[in-house]
Amino acid sequence: SKPAVLVTGGAGYIGAHTAKALSERGFFPVVFDSLSSGFREAVQWGAFVHGDIRDTRALAEAISDHGVKSVIHFAGLIEVGRSVAQPDIFWEINVGGTVSLLTAMRERGVERLVFSSSAAVYGQGGRGPLETIPESAGKAPASPYGDTKLACEWMIEAQCRAYGLTAVALRYFNAAGADPSGRIGEAHEPETHLLPLAIAAGLGEGKPLTVFGEDFDTPDGTCLRDYIHVNDLAAAHVAALEVDLPAGAYEAVNVGTGQGHSVREVVEAVGRALGRPVPHSIGARRAGDPPSLVADASRARDLLGWEPVCSTLDRIVADALRWEAQPAYGSGRRAGGRKAETAS
């Protein structure tokens, strides 16, 4: 039978794409999700268990019921701004939830983990605008969100040493795009990410886009980010699960392309794809936005044998656009519903 992989947060954006990739690779994903921000409709591969990551007993049961041998842990809160306003619940759910998961894994003898970390662990740093970030770069999270991701990494690393857990933390840069099937895609409530907001503005469905600052020390003055296609990111999880590592090993690996794109370039790429310019204005900088976050992606290639295959900006925009024009679930669908009501 297929090896069962527990996918916490598997009803979310990256989790759902990873469940699909696992299934295509011969694994049986067991999605464990509270549906507090994920979508039941996104769970289309493997099994679904409705539960809270802080519920150690429910996790242990899911592990035993499905004969789970390894875990990919996505479940957690992700909005940086909210983490500044409510740091307590970020620590409770992100760090407390990871304590709970590690307890259940150890109790049930599960010894392999892939953890969702973030480029947010690096923070602003003292980098020049065109410098890429290797894994060894200084860690200085600029938000409680980044703090919780770094705290989880430390905790996981210590348990690898202490108990022989084998773990890979993947530090994501900017996940974007959608599966080309149109069955799953990005759906956040509220949506704060650049690409979906730029597409909504371009489609005339959202507010005009506000570009958060054009006076950064970057080539065109807007922020540089490393956009990685969600399916490339999903493939990195499968590679991290399959890579041959000694018991007790802990690895932290950037997942990015090594190539930065400015906010202006993203807005222009959406305009090209739509055949009309995206309405936008220039606003103030957003608190906590570093000028540039671009991965040194060499370690993912060397350790995991992984490299991006569909992360050109135009491909990301094309796949995101297909989804955003007709999302199968999430607020975009409700917006479509609103439009339909207006029309009738």
Report residue 326 CA to chain centroid gap: 21
User: Should residue 106 be labelled a site residue for ligand UDP when binding is judged by CB under 6 A?
Assistant: no
In the block, residue with structure tokens 């507010």: 207
x/- map, 38-77, ligand UDP, by CB under 6 A:
----------------------------------------
Which residue lies nearer to ligand UDP by CB, 105 or 175? 175
Which residue lies nearer to ligand UDP by CB, 165 or 194? 194
Q: Which residues pair with 6 in a beta bridge?
A: 30, 71
x/- map, 157-176, ligand UDP, by CB under 6 A:
-----------------x--
Residues 6 or more apart whose Cβ sits within 8 Å of residue 278: 198, 201, 202, 209, 267, 270, 271
The nearest distance, CB 141 to ligand UDP, in angstroms, is: 13
Stretch that binds ligand UDP, among 51-59, 101-109, 187-195, 323-331 (CB under 6 A): 187-195
The nearest distance, CB 281 to ligand UDP, in angstroms, is: 10
| Dihedral over Cα of 40, 42, 44, 50: its sign | negative
User: Should residue 192 be labelled a site residue for ligand UDP when binding is judged by CB under 6 A?
Assistant: yes
Residues 270 and 262: their CA atoms lie apart, in Å, by: 13
Beta strands in the chain (DSSP E): 4-8, 28-33, 47-50, 68-73, 112-118, 166-172, 174-176, 209-212, 224-225, 227-229, 250-255, 261-262, 280-283, 292-293
Angle between helices 194-202 and 331-343 (to 10 degrees): 10
145 is catalytic: yes
Which residue lies nearer to ligand UDP by CB, 91 or 212? 212
User: Should residue 286 be labelled a site residue for ligand UDP when binding is judged by CB under 6 A?
Assistant: yes
SS3 for 85?
helix
AA letter at 23: S
The nearest distance, CB 101 to ligand UDP, in angstroms, is: 24
Stretch that binds ligand UDP, among 64-72, 86-94, 181-189, 192-200 (CB under 6 A): 192-200
Stretch that binds ligand UDP, among 104-112, 125-133, 186-194, 299-307 (CB under 6 A): 186-194
x/- map, 255-274, ligand UDP, by CB under 6 A:
--------x-----------
Report residue 91 as tokens. Answer: 């620590």
Report residue 198 as tokens. Answer: 């730029």
The nearest distance, CB 176 to ligand UDP, in angstroms, is: 8
Residues 291 and 217: their CA atoms lie apart, in Å, by: 7
Site for ligand UDP in 204-223 (CB under 6 A): 209-212, 223
Q: Which residues pair with 224 in a beta bridge?
A: 262, 292
Report residue 64 as tokens. Answer: 């035993």
Q: 211 to each of 130, 146, 164, 191, 215, how far by Cα in Å?
A: 20, 23, 46, 15, 11
Residues 6 or more apart whose Cβ sits within 8 Å of residue 245: 166, 168, 251
- Phi and psi (nearest 5°) for 102? -65, -35
- Binding footprint of ligand UDP, residue count (CB under 6 A): 14
User: Should residue 225 be labelled a site residue for ligand UDP when binding is judged by CB under 6 A?
Assistant: yes
The nearest distance, CB 81 to ligand UDP, in angstroms, is: 9
User: Should residue 197 be labelled a site residue for ligand UDP when binding is judged by CB under 6 A?
Assistant: yes
The nearest distance, CB 340 to ligand UDP, in angstroms, is: 26
User: Should residue 289 be labelled a site residue for ligand UDP when binding is judged by CB under 6 A?
Assistant: yes
Report residue 141 as tokens. Answer: 């999270």
The nearest distance, CB 247 to ligand UDP, in angstroms, is: 34
Catalytic residues: 145
Residues in the site for ligand UDP, rule: CB under 6 A?
174, 192-194, 197, 209-212, 223, 225, 263, 286, 289
